[in-house]
Structure 1
Amino acid sequence: MESLKTKDYICNLLKARFPMIYISTWEENRVTQMIEDLAIEENKIKTVRKVYLWSQTDGITAGRESVKNTTAPLAALDYIAECNEPSVFILKDFHVYLNPKQPNEYIIIRKLRDMVNILRESEKPKNIIFVSPMLQLPEELQKEVTVVELDFPNIYELESLLDEMIAVNKENPNITISLSETEKRQLCKTALGLTLQEAENAIARAMVQKGQLSIQELDIILEEKRQVIRKTGILEFIKSDLKLEDVGGLENLKRWLIKRNKSWKEEALKYNIPSPKGVLITGVPGCGKSLTAKAISAMWQLPLLRLDMGKIFSGLVGSSEENMRKAIRTAEAVSPSILWIDEIEKGFSGNGAGDGGTSTRIFGTFLTWMQEKTKPVFVVATANNINKLPSELLRKGRFDEIFFVDLPTLKERMKIFEVHLKKRLKNETIIGDIKQTEDELKKLASLTEGFVGAEIEESVIAALFEAFAEDREINMSDLERAIKNMVPLSITQAEQITAIREWANVRAVAATAKEDRTEYVSEKEEVTKTLNSNDNFRHSRGGRTIDF
C-alpha cells in the first residue's frame, strides 16, 4: 500500500499549503492523475483546486485550455504568482532551470525564492509541484522545497491496470484471455518494479505476440523487467538455470539456504520470522562462491541482480551516491529478489581519503540500508580477501551469517568431478574408458589434493581438448595427464590461503559439512599424503564447525 501512503502524504502537504513540492519520478501521467484525483476530493483536500500543467513545449494548460505566452519559465512563474484561484501547478522537467551555469540564469532561482512567500500568503491556496525523472535541487531552495519519492506501482495498482486491460480486450476475437485470480496475482507480482506504462506495454506485448494472455506469458513480463534493469546501467539481471546440485559439496551452506527458502512468503507470517537479510561467502578463489549465488536464485526462484561496484562510482560529483540509491530502489522494487555483490572487498575496501569521501558515503548508505531494510532483498556478497573489508560490515545485523569456503575435501572433489563429467560427457561416442564409478571418482579426487573447483573443471576441459585435437575418445589417462600438468592455487598462493584460514577459524562458519571435512582415504593413500608437502591443506581447514 506504499503508493496510497504517498498519496495521503502529498494530500497533507497540499492541505498544509506547502508552497513547493518536488516529486522525482518518470511517471508524469501517474502523478498528474494522482494530483487531479486529490484536487477534486473535497473531503480530503478541503478546498477543490484547479490543476494546471506546464511544459517547455505547451506552456501552461488546464484540460483543453491553454495560456498564451507561458512557455518561458519566468512568464509561467509570473502567471502562477498572479493567479487568484485555488490551484495546483505541475511543472514538468523544470529541473533544467535549477542548475544554472551563468550568473544571468540565477534569476529563475531568485524568482522561485520570491514566490515562496507569495504562495504562502495567497488568499487562495496555491502549490507548485515539480515533476522530473531526476532530483536537481540547488542549495538556495533546499529549505523551501519538500522532496517526495514516488514508489513503483504496488500490486494493487498493477492488478487494477490488468483488470482494465482485460475488460477493454475481452471482446476482441483475436485475443484469448485465460487467467484465474491466482494467476492474475502471480502475473502482477512478476511485474513489480515496472512503471504503470512499462507494465501496460509488457501486458500489451504479451497479448499481441501470441494472441493470448495466460500464465505462459510470464517470460514476456520478465523480459520487460530485464530491459528496465539494463537501462539503469548499474544492475545486471542474471538468468541462471543452475541447480543447487550443480554445486559440488558445501552441504552446510546448502542446508542453511534450504531452511530459509520461501521465508518471504505469506505462509511464513504465522511464525513471525523476518525475511533473511543476506549471507557473506568468503574463502579461497575458485571454490564456487559465485556459482553458489547463481544456484540460490534458481532454487529460490527469485530474480538475481548483480551489482557492479565499478559502475556505482562515476566522475560527476554526487552521482555515485545517487547511483547507489538507484540500485537499492531497483532491487527493492523487484523484491523479493537477490542482490549479488561479487568481490565486495574491491568496492568497499577504501577509506574515502583520496576521493573526497565518496566511497565512505556510499559505504554508509549501503550499511544503513542493510541494517534497516524491510523489503525482502536477500544480499549475497562474495569476497576473496576478507581482511580488506571494514569491520562494520561484518558485525551481526548486516548479514545473517558469514560462511567460509575452503579448498574442497576429497568427498567434495569427487562430487565436483561427477558434476563436470556429467555436464561435458553427454555424447556417448567420445567416452572411452571413463565409467564415472565411485572408484574412478575417488582416484581423480585423490590426484587433485589442494585443487579448487575451478581447477578441477579446467582439468576436465583440458583433457577434452587433448581428445578433440586427436579426434578420438577421452580416457582416464587424459584426465590424469591434465591434472599432473596443472599447478594448483594451493601451491602458488599457499601463504595467502593459510592467512584466510586463520581468519575464518574464529570468525566464519565452515560451508563444508562436518561429515565431509573428515576425508576417507585408504591406508596406503594416507601414508602417501603424510609424505606430501601439501598435507597441511588437509588438516588445518578453516571455519567453525556448525551443523545447520
Structure 2
Amino acid sequence: MEKKVDRKRLMANLFKARFPFLYLSTWEEDRVLSLIHSIASNQELIKTQRKVITWKVTTGISGEEIGKGDTKSALKALEWIENYEEPAIFVLQDFHIFFGSEGRLPDYQIIRKLRDISSSLKRSPNPKNVVFLSPVLNLPHDLEKDITIVDFDLPTFTEIKQSLDEMIEVNKQSGRIEINLNEEEKEKLVKAALGLTLSEAENAFARAMVEDGKLSIDDVEVILEEKEQIIKKTGILEFVNSSLNMKDVGGLENLKRWLRKRNKSWLESAQKYGLPSPKGVLITGVPGCGKSLISKAISEMWQLPLLRLDVGKIFSGIVGSSEENMRKAIQTAEAIAPSILWIDEIEKGFSGLGSSGDSGTTSRIFGHFLTWMQEKEKPVFVIATANNISSLPPEMLRKGRFDEIFFVDLPTKRERVEIFRVHLKKRLKNPTVSGDFEITDGNLNALAELTEGFVGAEIEQAVINGLFEAFYEERSVTLTDFEKICRQFVPLSVTQAEQIKRIRDWANVRAVAATPREDRTEYTENDETEASHDINTSRGGRTIDF
C-alpha cells in the first residue's frame, strides 16, 4: 500500500522546530501558499501563530508590509527579513535564480548572506522561517547543510475528488451541464486525473464539460489527453495513442482472462480485499505472435495511459546522464499513475549487462530499475515484451518483479480463425471489394487449415497480399486469392524452426501459456514439413488456465 504522509503536520513541525530554510519544488504556488497560511494561523498545530509574507523579484516584499522600502533587490529583502521582529514565515518565490543554473553563475553575495542569517533566524526571540518556493530544485553546494528539502507531492485522490465534487455541485446549480456519473465512474475519472496539478485537473474537467455539455465516464479520454502533454515534455517516454482493443487480438484467451480479472485493481474498491496493485507481466514468445499488439490493447481495456519506454533513449547523452534519465522516466510514470509502462523487446535494451565498455552504467541502471520494480508503491503496471528471453538475467525473472511470465506460441487453429476474422473484418468494408466473398466459418476454417505454423503477423500479411491480387486486376477479392498467397508463403516456423524450439524449451518450465488448454489440444500434427511438425507437436508454456 502507498505510504500516507501528513504533509501539513510535517511542515508545521519543521516550523515549530525553527528550521531556518525550507525548499519546496513545485509548480503549484497557490496550493503551497494556501497550505502555509492554514498552518500559520492554526495555533494548535504551530503553537505560535505567524504572519505569512511573500517575496517576488517583480514586487519585492508583498502584503501589508510593502511600504517598508524597496525590497525588490534580493539582498535588501534578506536584510529586511533579518531585521523583522514579529513571528513570520517568509515565502521567497523563484529564489533559485540566484543559486546558479543553466549556465548562470550563482550570486555568491546572496549565498553568503543566507548563511549569515541562518543562525540569527534560529536565535530570534520570535520564530521566523524562510521557505524557498520554486518549480525546479536547484540547491548550491554551499547551502546544502542549511536548507531542508520538503517534498510537495501532486494532489492526492481526495484533493482532486473534492475539487471535482465542487465543480459538479456548481454546475448542478446552474443546470447547464449534464452530470452522468455514478460513484465508481467518478472514482475512475479522479484516478485518471492523478499526476496532474490541481489547476490542470480542473482545466481537464472543465474542458470535458464544455465539449459536449455533459460529464461522463467517456471523458476519461480528455483527461488522458492532458496527461499526454506531461509525457511529451520528458523526451524519454512516448505516450502511445492506440485505438486497438482486445477484440483486435485474436486468441490468447488465457492471458486476456488474467488481465480482465485485474482490471480496476488500482481503485479504492480493491483495497477492501487487501489487494495490492498488480506489478506487471513479462510476455515472451515467437516473434510476430501479438506480444506488442496485446500490450497496446491493455490500455484500452483498463482505460489507463500507455507509456512506451525506449531504453535506447535512456543511454542517450542528449538529455543528460543515463542514470538521471531512468529516474526521470520512472518519476514521470509514477506522477501520472495509475498508468501502464511498456518496454518493448526489453532484452535488447539491457544487452550490455556485464560488459566493461560503459563503466558499469548499464548495470547501475538495470539495478535501479529492478529495485523500483520490487519496491514500487504507485500503481504503475509494467509490460515487458521479449523475443530472446534467454538473454535476460535471472534476477529479472524471479517472483516479485513481475506477477506472471506469459509465453505466446504459434497460434492454434481456433486462434488463426479469429486472427483471420479480425483482419478480414478490418479491411473488407467496401461491398465492391468483398463481392461474393463472405467471412463465414467455412471460409475461415479453410484458411486456418492452410496456415498452420503461421504467426499472427504472417496471417495479416497474407490477407493484405490477397487483397493486392484483387486490386491489381481491379476486381472483387475471392477465397482463391487468399488461398494462393497462403500456399506460397514460407512461414517463420519453417525458416527459424531451431530458434522457436529453443524458445519453447525455455517456456515449458518457466512461463505460463497465453493460450488456454482447450485451444492447445486441438492443434493438428499433420504438417507438410518435418521442421514444422517438430515445432507444432511440442507447444511451449505451462498449462495454467486463469
**1:284 Cα deviation after fit:** 1.9
For 2:18 and 2:498, locate their aligned partners in 1 and report how far apart those are by CA, in whole Å: 66
**1:170 Cα deviation after fit:** 6.0
For 1:6 and 1:318, locate their aligned partners in 2 and report how far apart those are by CA, in whole Å: 31
Where does residue 66 of structure 2 map in the other structure?
A: 65
CA contact (8 A) 2:282 2:383 kept: yes
Pairing 1:334-345 to 2, within 5 Å after superposition: 334-345=336-347
- Kindly provide the CA deviation profile for residues 461-512 of structure 1, in whole angstroms up to 9, marking residues without a partner as x: 1111221222111112221332344443334444433333333233222222
**1:545 Cα deviation after fit:** 2.6
Where does residue 362 of structure 1 map in the other structure?
A: 365
Residue 543, structure 1, aligned to residue 541, structure 2? yes
Where does residue 122 of structure 1 map in the other structure?
A: 124
Where does residue 198 of structure 2 map in the other structure?
A: 196
Q: Aligned in 2, Cα 1:75/1:411: closer, same or farther, shift over 3 Å?
A: same
Where does residue 221 of structure 1 map in the other structure?
A: 223
- Kindly provide the CA deviation profile for residues 286-319 of structure 1, in whole angstroms up to 9, marking residues without a partner as x: 1111111122222333333333334444536865
The one-letter code sitting in structure 2 at the alignment partner of 1:43 is E
- Kindly provide the CA deviation profile for residues 383-428 of structure 1, in whole angstroms up to 9, marking residues without a partner as x: 2222333332211111011111122233322221122122222333
Pairing 1:279-428 to 2, within 5 Å after superposition: 279-315=281-317, 320-351=322-353, 353-355=356-358, 357-428=360-431
The one-letter code sitting in structure 2 at the alignment partner of 1:87 is A
Q: Aligned in 2, Cα 1:453/1:29: closer, same or farther, shift over 3 Å?
A: same
- RMSD of aligned Cα (Å): 3.1
Q: Aligned in 2, Cα 1:445/1:179: closer, same or farther, shift over 3 Å?
A: closer
CA contact (8 A) 2:243 2:300 kept: yes
Q: Aligned in 2, Cα 1:235/1:420: closer, same or farther, shift over 3 Å?
A: same
Where does residue 514 of structure 2 map in the other structure?
A: 511
CA contact (8 A) 1:304 1:340 kept: yes
Structure 2: which 5+ runs fail to align?
none
Where does residue 176 of structure 1 map in the other structure?
A: 177
SS in 2 for 1:80: helix
For 1:343 and 1:393, locate their aligned partners in 2 and report how far apart those are by CA, in whole Å: 14
The one-letter code sitting in structure 1 at the alignment partner of 2:78 is L
CA contact (8 A) 1:252 1:511 kept: yes
**1:188 Cα deviation after fit:** 3.3
- Kindly provide the CA deviation profile for residues 224-253 of structure 1, in whole angstroms up to 9, marking residues without a partner as x: 333333334444443444332322222222
Q: Aligned in 2, Cα 1:489/1:421: closer, same or farther, shift over 3 Å?
A: same
Residue 49, structure 1, aligned to residue 25, structure 2? no
**1:79 Cα deviation after fit:** 2.8
**1:371 Cα deviation after fit:** 1.4
For 2:281 and 2:84, locate their aligned partners in 1 and report how far apart those are by CA, in whole Å: 57
**1:198 Cα deviation after fit:** 1.0
SS in 2 for 1:127: strand
CA contact (8 A) 2:180 2:214 kept: no
Where does residue 252 of structure 2 map in the other structure?
A: 250
**1:171 Cα deviation after fit:** 6.1
For 1:331 and 1:103, locate their aligned partners in 2 and report how far apart those are by CA, in whole Å: 33
> Could you tell me which of 149, 174, 195 is aligned with 1:147?
149
CA contact (8 A) 1:97 1:108 kept: yes
> Could you tell me which of 531, 534, 539 is aligned with 2:532?
534
The number of residue pairs the alignment matches comes to 542
CA contact (8 A) 2:188 2:267 kept: no
**1:165 Cα deviation after fit:** 3.9
Q: Could you tell me the TM-score, scaled by structure 2's length? A: 0.88
Q: Aligned in 2, Cα 1:262/1:214: closer, same or farther, shift over 3 Å?
A: closer
- Kindly provide the CA deviation profile for residues 125-168 of structure 1, in whole angstroms up to 9, marking residues without a partner as x: 22222222222223333333222222221232223323444566
Q: Aligned in 2, Cα 1:269/1:27: closer, same or farther, shift over 3 Å?
A: closer
Q: Aligned in 2, Cα 1:231/1:314: closer, same or farther, shift over 3 Å?
A: same
Where does residue 6 of structure 2 map in the other structure?
A: 5
**1:73 Cα deviation after fit:** 3.2
Residue 35, structure 1, aligned to residue 33, structure 2? no
The one-letter code sitting in structure 2 at the alignment partner of 1:200 is E
For 2:429 and 2:340, locate their aligned partners in 1 and report how far apart those are by CA, in whole Å: 32
For 2:73 and 2:168, locate their aligned partners in 1 and report how far apart those are by CA, in whole Å: 42
The one-letter code sitting in structure 1 at the alignment partner of 2:539 is R
For 1:510 and 1:180, locate their aligned partners in 2 and report how far apart those are by CA, in whole Å: 39
Structure 1: which 5+ runs fail to align?
none
Q: Aligned in 2, Cα 1:96/1:345: closer, same or farther, shift over 3 Å?
A: farther
- Kindly provide the CA deviation profile for residues 238-273 of structure 1, in whole angstroms up to 9, marking residues without a partner as x: 344433232222222223223323333444334323
CA contact (8 A) 2:235 2:319 kept: no
Where does residue 113 of structure 2 map in the other structure?
A: 111
> Could you tell me which of 272, 275, 279 is aligned with 2:274?
272
For 2:515 and 2:106, locate their aligned partners in 1 and report how far apart those are by CA, in whole Å: 67
For 2:300 and 2:518, locate their aligned partners in 1 and report how far apart those are by CA, in whole Å: 26
SS in 2 for 1:534: helix
Q: Aligned in 2, Cα 1:178/1:103: closer, same or farther, shift over 3 Å?
A: closer
Q: Aligned in 2, Cα 1:2/1:447: closer, same or farther, shift over 3 Å?
A: same
For 2:238 and 2:318, locate their aligned partners in 1 and report how far apart those are by CA, in whole Å: 22
Where does residue 158 of structure 1 map in the other structure?
A: 160
**1:16 Cα deviation after fit:** 1.5
For 2:248 and 2:26, locate their aligned partners in 1 and report how far apart those are by CA, in whole Å: 42
SS in 2 for 1:143: coil
SS in 1 for 2:307: strand
Q: Aligned in 2, Cα 1:214/1:507: closer, same or farther, shift over 3 Å?
A: closer
Which 10-residue stretch deviates more, 162-171 or 199-208?
162-171
For 1:385 and 1:341, locate their aligned partners in 2 and report how far apart those are by CA, in whole Å: 14
Q: Could you tell me the TM-score, scaled by structure 1's length? A: 0.88
The one-letter code sitting in structure 1 at the alignment partner of 2:76 is A
**1:439 Cα deviation after fit:** 4.4
**1:115 Cα deviation after fit:** 3.4
Where does residue 82 of structure 2 map in the other structure?
A: 81
Q: Aligned in 2, Cα 1:34/1:254: closer, same or farther, shift over 3 Å?
A: same
CA contact (8 A) 2:283 2:408 kept: yes
**1:186 Cα deviation after fit:** 5.0
